[in-house]
């Protein structure tokens, strides 16, 4: 009988790396999603084109290839990143491309009458967007953002391929050292699931808070 307690710290270290990747990756994806999502709705053709190219490119190529590019190819152009930085960049840009379409779609659900009220109240485009359109659109984005965050969490496993010691990587280490498959993979299965559950509960809580008073009805 092997003493599993000796291997648990390895798994927990992996969990910490996965948590960092998820949190930083989501932060980057969130920022990029708003930039590109708003970019696709811009009045300026060049901005729309740039946003479209980014979104189509990152949705249309594999996250593996993107990660390898960031980690192995960028150094050839003089930009060397740590494995964590490379993982965050690849995951953030990849999921951000999907979330950008969520941002764009949600903004388009705000009825044109709301924009007309903004015009009648002489708000600028920026003020209308910030105070009227985005707060209403954000409630629509949230559930899908939750899905995107969970996708990103599950996607973090690919960083084990650039030797970053995340959950999946550590499970392989434990398996190699003990020859046991069940313990390491069962434990990371549970940890991934707990992380996903945490994201789900957090978005649902936020949804409930933001939807309060709206009652699903437009005024």
**Residue 89: closest CA among 35, 153, 25:** 25
Exactly one of 61, 80, 127, 177 binds another protein (CB under 8 A); that residue is 127
Measured between alpha carbons, how far is 112 from 210 in angstroms, rounded to an integer?
21
Exactly one of 76, 122, 179, 209 binds another protein (CB under 8 A); that residue is 122
Is 124 near another protein (CB under 8 A)? yes
Exactly one of 61, 82, 109, 119 binds another protein (CB under 8 A); that residue is 119
109 SS3 class: coil
DSSP character at residue 18: H
Which residues of the chain form beta strands (DSSP E)?
Answer: none
Is 123 near another protein (CB under 8 A)? yes
| Residues 152, 96 contacting (CB under 8 angstroms) | no
Measured between alpha carbons, how far is 41 from 138 in angstroms, rounded to an integer?
16
CB of 113 to another protein, least distance (A): 5
| Contact characters 21-60, another protein, x per CB under 8 A | ----------------------------------------
84/123 with CB nearer another protein: 123
């Amino acid at each position: 009988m092997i003493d599993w307690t000796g291997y648990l710290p390895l798994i927990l270290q992996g969990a910490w790396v996965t948590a960092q990747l998820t949190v930083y990756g989501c932060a980057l994806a969130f920022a990029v999603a708003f930039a590109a999502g708003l970019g696709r709705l811009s009045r300026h053709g060049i901005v729309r084109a740039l946003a479209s190219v980014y979104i189509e490119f990152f949705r249309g190529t594999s996250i593996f290839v993107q990660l390898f590019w960031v980690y192995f190819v960028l150094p050839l152009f003089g930009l060397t990143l740590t494995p964590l930085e490379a993982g965050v960049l690849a995951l953030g840009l990849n999921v951000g491309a999907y979330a950008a379409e969520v941002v764009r779609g949600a903004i388009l659900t705000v009825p044109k009458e709301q924009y007309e009220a903004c015009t009648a109240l002489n708000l600028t485009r920026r003020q209308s967007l910030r105070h009227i359109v985005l707060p209403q659109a954000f409630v629509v984005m949230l559930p899908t953002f939750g899905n995107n965050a969970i996708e990103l969490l599950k996607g973090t496993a690919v960083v084990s391929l650039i030797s970053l010691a995340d959950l999946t990587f550590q499970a392989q280490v434990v398996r190699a050292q003990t020859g046991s498959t069940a313990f390491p993979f069962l434990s990371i299965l549970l940890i991934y699931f707990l992380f996903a559950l945490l994201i789900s509960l957090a978005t649902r809580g936020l949804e409930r808070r933001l939807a309060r008073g709206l009652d699903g009805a437009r005024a």
